[in-house]
A and B are shown apart, each in its own frame.
Chain A
Amino acid sequence: MYYRYKALIVDLDSKEFSVKELNKDLVRKTLGGCALGAALMYRLAPKTPDPLKENVVIMAPGALTGTPVPTASKTSFFTISPLTGGWLESVAGGSIGLELRSCGFEALVIKGKSEAPCIIRITDQNFSFEDSDWGSDALDAAEKLSKGGYSTACIGQAGENLVRFAGVECDGRQAGRGGLGAIFGSKNLKGIAIKSTGDIEPESPEVLERLVKKWYDALLQHSSYRDDTKYGSGEFLEWMNSERGTFPTKNWQLSVFENRKQIDPYYWAPKYSVKNNGCISCVKPCGKMFVIKEGKYSGTKIDGPEYETLYALGGNVFNGNIEALARANELCDRYGIDTISTGGTIAFAMELYERNIITKDDVGYELRFGDEDALLKTIEQIAIREGFGNLLAEGTARASEHLGAQRYAVHVKGMDPPAYDARGLKGMALAYATSPRGACHLRAGVYGIELTGKWWKYSDIDRYSTEKKGDMVATMEDLMSVYDTLGICKFSRHVYFAEGLPELVEAVTGIKYSVEELFAIGANANWMKKLINMRQGISKDSLPPRMFLDPIAEGPSKGARVTEEELSIMLKDYYRARGWSEEGEPSKEQINEVDDLTKEVFYG
């Protein structure tokens, strides 16, 4: 039997564990990961004005996670974000999901708050709490926690200090975005360690074995395989600059980074990367073990930097020194903070500094674009919440309100955007606006379509046009939710597409779903995310002022921007495609369907 229909509930208030039986129908209709997480959040998450005070954390491996389906590596965490105040899913490719499934659980639910810093340790059916110290960085903590062969999820100092964009370290990968780490910190939870000797029982093992080989071959034979694995996710950085001019730079004041040569993996991978790194069950590893052996940053050793980080700690803060960038990446990983938001917040502060809105008196030192020492110092100040860093630790949105500088704050719903300048990619602009967790490239994953004009069933997509975007973003959000539901990495979507998924679902879970039915599961998950956001009082889908007011300054996309009217046209199309009202609210029928589905998430 593949599903065990069980969830482990951890109550940090009373320090108690309980095993609950999950509603079978609910599990079979949501499969796992994102859709199951959305359903559980819909029922179990409190309406919370302060996510750092009252909140839950739910962890659910993807439906295929824990099997050898190539790149089915993802485990998702769900909570109410301290950065956006709304729905947060944070996804990572560690092995903790495999271990949870081996223990016989489809989900882990963490409630309450521990009195003192603690660890949750799960060994098969033995559950215990351990005291923990505060103060160790995320990588050291993981190393310590994993002794005995455990898979782990843990925070560094930034999570302890409630930095609103702190992440969680998961076996060398990160659930980075949206502040999950601060929620761990707010619960006095340093980490989770899980180990099990239990079997995972796919329904059709022979078929699965054959499919694993089939998709392994397909992934390795794909034309993109060589460059993807050799140079990692930053492989197209030069092209993003010189051909598209959509590489956000200097807090989005520019869209081409003139000093990009050194941060291009074609330059640094041969020089600094000593080997590939990847998530569990990944046969096309995008991670690079980056090592600096001499000079000022000697001793730096990280898994990275990946594309978004090359923007966040490179172009966006105008840093063209790859060694400083790698060091900044290492600081983020060790303190346990999201690189994208760290870079976004610092870039915002640097712009204010150069505009004299803040001065040396406020910051304590000079904070100019391109100053690597200032960059590194500010990362530390944020992580330990010292001086001006204490304000930046609140995130771009809150800091901008405090300083009255909203005009220069680039975020959506409080989330700093990733490295796609949406002014020259209208579909991305819509996707940033509608993403339930705030600006994100992976909720809809339309950047590839926008940049190249075609993918899957899409062709002739004009990146400057608003046409077809509403429907496309809704469909792609649903597809990406299916990927997160199954736990398959989105960087394999050009191989599995949608059509490859049903046979895998059937071989593993025994449940026969058509492509359309899988899409319906994805759509349903997106209704629930929206409803959770509405419950939290977050209903407006919009964009930062810069995207409306400041056209792209130079390069191939020069002059491009998104007007408020264009966004509202696309939003209308998008809401229509979803069957939502003009204000973006799910229909009565949809709400009823969700209520029905989640009426009883547990038996008894």
Chain B
Amino acid sequence: MGLIVVSHPEKCTHCRECELACSLHHEKKVNPKKSRIRVIRASYDLSVPSLCTHGYGCALECVDSCPMGAIEENNGFVGIDEELCDGCGACVDVCPFNAIRLFDGKAKKCDLCGGEPVCVSLCSQGALTFEEGKTVDKRVFNEIKKVVEERREDYVLQI
């Protein structure tokens, strides 16, 4: 347990295959804005994939923010119970990785595709890896957080 998808921006080509495939897998439709992973165009030569760190890069802000108790952490996996979620969007605002989308009245985020993340399997560049969350260097997360904060407005989805 405790495996998460880790992003390595220095290798990312901004192909967005991960976003396209994530949305296809979860929604049966293609829509990068609904993808649980977003590839943030930080500048001409830097793209930063960002998604849920399942508590390893954050302080579980989403869990604390949810008035319905719909988000829970269990053994290094954070899941949203859609039955309980009432779509208020509190979690969307507090997640430092902008990892939560809100549409169709529900909050959605990375669920690791049941243990075989599609994004990782289609990242040709090795910019996404499936690793033990606790061994990831905190600086990696901090770099991503910084970019997310700067570009948040462009990538947030709350409809």
Interface residues of B in 23-52 (CB under 8 A from A): 24-25, 27-34, 41, 44-45
Question: Are the C-beta atoms of B124 and A283 separated by less than 8 Å?
Answer: yes
Question: Are the C-beta atoms of B122 and A216 separated by less than 8 Å?
Answer: yes
- B29 in complex: contacting residue of A98, A199, A282, CB < 8 Å: A199
- A199 in complex: contacting residue of B11, B14, B31, B155, CB < 8 Å: B31
In the assembly, what is the distance between CA of A277 and CA of B44, in Å?
10
Residues of B within 8 A of A147 (CB): 154
> Knowing A102-B31, A199-B30, A209-B24 touch, does A283 contact B154 (C-beta < 8 A)?
no
- A67 in complex: contacting residue of B13, B20, B27, B41, CB < 8 Å: B20
In the assembly, what is the distance between CA of A146 and CA of B155, in Å?
12
Query: What sequence of 0s and 1s flags, for each residue 77-115 of chain B, a beta carbon within 8 Å of any chain A beta carbon?
Result: 000000000000000000000000000000000000000
Question: Are the C-beta atoms of B13 and A276 separated by less than 8 Å?
Answer: yes
For residue B16, CB closer than 8 A to chain A, the reply is yes
A224 to chain B, nearest CB (A): 14
B9 to chain A, nearest CB (A): 10
In the assembly, what is the distance between CA of A207 and CA of B34, in Å?
20
For residue A279, CB closer than 8 A to chain B, the reply is yes
In the assembly, what is the distance between CA of A66 and CA of B154, in Å?
19
A-B contact pairs, 20 of them (CB 8 A): A68-B21, A98-B32, A148-B154, A149-B153, A149-B155, A197-B33, A197-B159, A199-B29, A200-B29, A200-B31, A201-B30, A202-B24, A206-B28, A209-B21, A209-B118, A281-B15, A281-B16, A283-B17, A284-B124, A301-B44
Residues of A within 8 A of B44 (CB): 139, 143, 172, 301
For residue B143, CB closer than 8 A to chain A, the reply is no
For residue B157, CB closer than 8 A to chain A, the reply is yes
For residue B10, CB closer than 8 A to chain A, the reply is yes
Question: Are the C-beta atoms of B154 and A287 separated by less than 8 Å?
Answer: no
Query: What sequence of 0s and 1s flags, for each residue 279-296 of chain A, a beta carbon within 8 Å of any chain B beta carbon?
Result: 111111101010100000
Query: What sequence of 0s and 1s flags, for each residue 156-196 of chain A, a beta carbon within 8 Å of any chain B beta carbon?
Result: 00000000000000001000000000000000000000000
- A277 in complex: contacting residue of B10, B14, B25, B118, CB < 8 Å: B14
A154 to chain B, nearest CB (A): 14
> Knowing A68-B20, A279-B15, A283-B15 touch, does A201 contact B125 (C-beta < 8 A)?
no
B26 to chain A, nearest CB (A): 10
Residues of B within 8 A of A281 (CB): 15-17, 20
Residues of A within 8 A of B34 (CB): 197, 199
For residue A213, CB closer than 8 A to chain B, the reply is yes
Q: A201-B29, A220-B124, A229-B124 are in contact. List 11 more A-B contacts (CB 8 A).
A: A67-B20, A172-B14, A199-B29, A205-B24, A212-B21, A281-B15, A282-B13, A282-B15, A282-B17, A285-B15, A289-B45
Question: Are the C-beta atoms of A280 and B121 separated by less than 8 Å?
Answer: no
B134 to chain A, nearest CB (A): 28
Question: Are the C-beta atoms of B45 and A274 separated by less than 8 Å?
Answer: yes
Question: Are the C-beta atoms of B29 and A68 separated by less than 8 Å?
Answer: no
In the assembly, what is the distance between CA of A164 and CA of B127, in Å?
40
- A66 in complex: contacting residue of B11, B13, B30, B155, CB < 8 Å: B30
For residue A522, CB closer than 8 A to chain B, the reply is no
> What number of A residues sit within 8 Å (CB to CB) of B?
46
Question: Are the C-beta atoms of A278 and B27 separated by less than 8 Å?
Answer: no
- A301 in complex: contacting residue of B13, B45, B122, CB < 8 Å: B45
A298 to chain B, nearest CB (A): 16
For residue A95, CB closer than 8 A to chain B, the reply is yes
In the assembly, what is the distance between CA of A205 and CA of B27, in Å?
9
Residues of A within 8 A of B32 (CB): 98
In the assembly, what is the distance between CA of A282 and CA of B15, in Å?
6
Residues of A within 8 A of B30 (CB): 66-68, 199-202
Query: What sequence of 0s and 1s flags, for each residue 135-161 of chain A, a beta carbon within 8 Å of any chain B beta carbon?
Result: 000010001001111000000000000
Residue of B nearest to A196 (CB): B33
- B15 in complex: contacting residue of A143, A220, A275, A278, CB < 8 Å: A278
B107 to chain A, nearest CB (A): 16
Residue of A nearest to B31 (CB): A199
Query: What sequence of 0s and 1s flags, for each residue 147-159 of chain B, a beta carbon within 8 Å of any chain A beta carbon?
Result: 0000001110101
Residues of A within 8 A of B21 (CB): 68, 209, 212
> Knowing A199-B30, A276-B13 touch, does A285 contact B24 (C-beta < 8 A)?
no
Residues of B within 8 A of A199 (CB): 27, 29-31, 34
For residue A198, CB closer than 8 A to chain B, the reply is yes
Residue of A nearest to B10 (CB): A275
B13 to chain A, nearest CB (A): 4
Question: Are the C-beta atoms of A202 and B29 separated by less than 8 Å?
Answer: yes
For residue A208, CB closer than 8 A to chain B, the reply is yes
Query: What sequence of 0s and 1s flags, for each residue 200-239 of chain A, a beta carbon within 8 Å of any chain B beta carbon?
Result: 1110011011001100100110000000010000000000
Question: Are the C-beta atoms of B121 and A213 separated by less than 8 Å?
Answer: yes
Interface residues of A in 249-308 (CB under 8 A from B): 274-285, 287, 289, 291, 301
For residue A445, CB closer than 8 A to chain B, the reply is no
Question: Are the C-beta atoms of A276 and B125 separated by less than 8 Å?
Answer: yes
Residues of B within 8 A of A102 (CB): 31
Interface residues of B in 115-137 (CB under 8 A from A): 118, 121-122, 124-125
In the assembly, what is the distance between CA of A599 and CA of B20, in Å?
36
Residues of B within 8 A of A201 (CB): 29-30
Residue of A nearest to B103 (CB): A197
Residues of A within 8 A of B41 (CB): 146
Residues of A within 8 A of B122 (CB): 68, 212-213, 216, 283
Residues of A within 8 A of B20 (CB): 67-68, 281
For residue A389, CB closer than 8 A to chain B, the reply is no
A326 to chain B, nearest CB (A): 14
In the assembly, what is the distance between CA of A208 and CA of B118, in Å?
13
Residues of A within 8 A of B15 (CB): 278-283, 285
Question: Are the C-beta atoms of B28 and A205 separated by less than 8 Å?
Answer: yes
Residue of A nearest to B28 (CB): A205
> Knowing A200-B30, A209-B21, A212-B24 touch, does A280 contact B45 (C-beta < 8 A)?
no
Question: Are the C-beta atoms of B27 and A68 separated by less than 8 Å?
Answer: no
Residue of B nearest to A277 (CB): B13
A482 to chain B, nearest CB (A): 22
For residue A470, CB closer than 8 A to chain B, the reply is no
In the assembly, what is the distance between CA of A95 and CA of B8, in Å?
22
In the assembly, what is the distance between CA of A324 and CA of B32, in Å?
38
Question: Are the C-beta atoms of B14 and A209 separated by less than 8 Å?
Answer: no
Residue of B nearest to A274 (CB): B45
For residue A424, CB closer than 8 A to chain B, the reply is no
